[in-house]
Structure 1
Amino acid sequence: MIEFLSPVSKKIIAHREILSQGVLGKEIAIHTKKGSLPNLKGVQFALFGVKENRNDVNYMGADVCFDELRKALYALYPGNWPQKVVDLGDIEKGETVEDSYFAFRAVSEALLKKGIIPIVFGGSQDLLFPMYRSYDGMGKMVNLVNVDHRFDLGDAEHPISN
C-alpha cells in the first residue's frame, strides 16, 4: 500500500503547526515522509486523496490538489468521539487511468482488511467503481456515500461516465 501513497504536502505540514490546539489537524496522525506511513494500529478512519480526474467529462488537463480541503478539514474541532483518524496523503495519477484505479483499489482493500474505513478525496466520479470493487473480498453488503455539488444525470450526446 505504501508504494502508492505520497505524503501530505510540506505546505500543509507547515500550516498544521500554526493551528490551534485541539483541532482535528493536531489530533490525527499524518503521512509526512516518503516510505513511512503512520502507525495504523487502532485507527478506524483513513483519509486519502486520489489525484485522478482524466475521465471527468469536463477534464481540461488541470491537476487535482487537496491542500485547501485539508486546510479546512484540519482546522475543524473534532466531536466527542473516540475514533482514531489518519491522513495517508495522496495517490498520484498513474501512467494510465487504469493504473490509478489499480492503486486506489489496492489501498482501499488493504485498509478494509485492517478494519479501517477509507474516506476518499476524489478527482472524478469514475473513481466510485474501483472503490466499490475494493469491497469484493469482504463478502458483505456495501453502503456507499458519494457527495457531489449537483446531480449528473448524463447527456445523450456523451457516453455514461459516472
Structure 2
Amino acid sequence: MNLAIFFEPLPEELFGQVTNPKTVGAYLAPFIHSFPDWRSAEVVLIGLPEYRGTVDASNLTYEGPNRIRKELYRLIKGTGQWLVMDLGNLLPGIHLEDTYLRLKEVVEMVVDSGKFPILLGGSHDLTYGQFLGYEHLSKSVNLTLIDSQLDVAIEDDALPEANHLQRILLHEPNYLLGFTHLAHQAYLTDASMLGVLEKLHFELFRIGQVRQQMQEMEPVLRQADLISFDVSAIRHQDAPGQLQANPFGLTGEEACQLCWYAGQNDQLSSIGFYGYRPELDHRALTATTLATMIWYTIEGFYQRQGTLDFHSNHFLKFSVGFHDNPNKMFFYKNRHTQKWWMQVDDLSGQRPPLIVPCSYQDYLTAADGEVPNRWILMQTRL
C-alpha cells in the first residue's frame, strides 16, 4: 500500500527552511514536495487534524499538528541519531469512522514495518483508530491512557471523544490484555465506573498517586504496547490550549518525565498526543509543552536496550522463597539500567511463564513475604 495517498504535504513557508543546523528541524525529513522514504526511518511523525469527535468542532482551526511541529522543529536535537521522518497530516475521511479506519491502516502498516509512530492529534477519540491498528496482530496488547478522566460516557448522544474508551473495552474481537489509566482526578471521575474497571483487574492511578510515586510509574509504562496521552491530564497553567480550564493535573515537567519513561520502553510501538486546541493557545505554551514531551519521547526511544535476554550476563537473577510455600518467585535486574522484571508463572501450568516489568519495591515486598500486587494482577490475566 502506498502511504502517500493518505497524507497532505506540509506548508513550505513553515517547514521548508532550516536556519539552525543543530535543531530538530535539521534532522527531520518532512513531507513538503515529495513523500519521504519512511521505511528508512526509525521514528515517524503523523499529524491528525481531525476534530469531528469533539465539541464545537465547527469553529476550530485545524492547525494543531502544525503548531506542535513548529515548536518541535525549533528545539535542539538530542543525543540519539534521530532517524525521524515527518509524513505530514493524515487526510480526514468523508466521515469520522472513515478517519478511524484510515488511521488503523496507517498505524498497522507503520508498526508492522518496525517503525515507531508518534501521532499528533486531534481529538482524543482518535485513540480508537490507533487501537484498531493492532487488531491484525496475533497477540493481545496492553493499552495505557493518560487522562484527567475516564472517557466511558454511556449516553446515547455522547460525543465520540467522551466514550471512545468504552468502544475499546467492548471491541470484538477482544485483543486487549491489559489496560492502565494514569492521572485521573477523582472529582471528574465516576466512582462506580472505577469500581467496574478494578473488578476487571485493570490498573488505575489517581493524579496524586502518579505525583507521589513517579518512579513507580516507570514499570507501569514499560508494559504498554500503545499509549494515548490527552493534554487534559496537564494542568491549565502549563497547557492552556485545551477545553478544560483545569487548575490541577500534571505539571509540564511531570508529563515530560512520563514521556521519557514511555520512550525507553522497548515494547511500546506507538504513542499519540491528543486534545490540543490551538485556538485557545494564544502564546503557543501548550504547543511548546507538547513539543518538549515529544522530544523526551524520541530521546527516550534512543536509550532503548533492544532485545531482552534474561539469561545473558546483563541480568542478575534473584530467587525469593516464602516460608509457608514451597514455590519461589524470580526477579531479574538489568546491571546497566537498574530496571527490574518479575517472572509470573501460570498456576494452572497451561501456559509458559511471563516475565513482566516491575519495580524494586515489588522485589522488596516479595522479600518481606508478601505477594506483590502486580504479580496478582498479571496472574488474573493469564
Name the TM-score, length of structure 1 as normaliser.
0.82
User: 1:7 is matched with which residue?
Assistant: 9
How many residue pairs get aligned? The number is: 157
Task: Please state how far the C-alpha of 1:83 moved relative to its aligned partner.
Answer: 4.0
CA distance in 2, matches of 1:74, 1:145: 27
Summarize deviations over 1:103-132 as a string: whole Å, max 9, x none: 211111111121111100111111001101
2:140 matches 1:138: no
1:11 is aligned with what amino acid? E
User: 1:30 is matched with which residue?
Assistant: 30
Extract structure 1 runs of 4+ deviating beyond 4 A: 143-148, 152-158
CA distance in 2, matches of 1:3, 1:90: 11
Q: Using the TM superposition, name which of 137-146 and 102-111 deviates more.
A: 137-146
SS at match of 1:132: helix
Identify the structure with bigger relative contact order (alpha carbons < 8 Å, sequence gap 6+). 1
CA distance in 2, matches of 1:83, 1:112: 18
User: 1:129 is matched with which residue?
Assistant: 128
User: 1:93 is matched with which residue?
Assistant: 92
Summarize deviations over 1:53-101 as a string: whole Å, max 9, x none: 1011343442421222111000112221124111000012221112211
Matches within 5 A, 1:21-100: 21-33=21-33, 36-65=34-63, 66-100=65-99
CA RMSD of aligned residues (A): 2.4
CA distance in 2, matches of 1:48, 1:132: 15
Contact 2:41–2:83 (CA<8 Å) still a contact in 1?
Answer: yes
2:18 matches 1:17: yes
Identity %: 27
Task: Could you tell me which runs of 5 or more consecutive residues in structure 1 were left unpaired when the two chains were aligned.
Answer: none
Task: Please state how far the C-alpha of 1:11 moved relative to its aligned partner.
Answer: 2.8
| Structure number having the greater helix percentage | 2
CA distance in 1, matches of 2:59, 2:23: 35
User: 2:163 is matched with which residue?
Assistant: 161
SS at match of 1:161: helix
Indicate how the Cα distance of structure 1 residues 64 and 45 shifts in structure 2: closer, same or farther if over 3 A, else same: same
1:9 is aligned with what amino acid? P
Name the TM-score, length of structure 2 as normaliser.
0.38
Task: Please state how far the C-alpha of 1:143 moved relative to its aligned partner.
Answer: 4.4
Task: Please state how far the C-alpha of 1:147 moved relative to its aligned partner.
Answer: 5.5
Task: Please state how far the C-alpha of 1:10 moved relative to its aligned partner.
Answer: 2.1
Task: Please state how far the C-alpha of 1:146 moved relative to its aligned partner.
Answer: 5.0
Q: Whose radius of gyration is greater, 1 or 2?
A: 2
User: 2:204 is matched with which residue?
Assistant: none
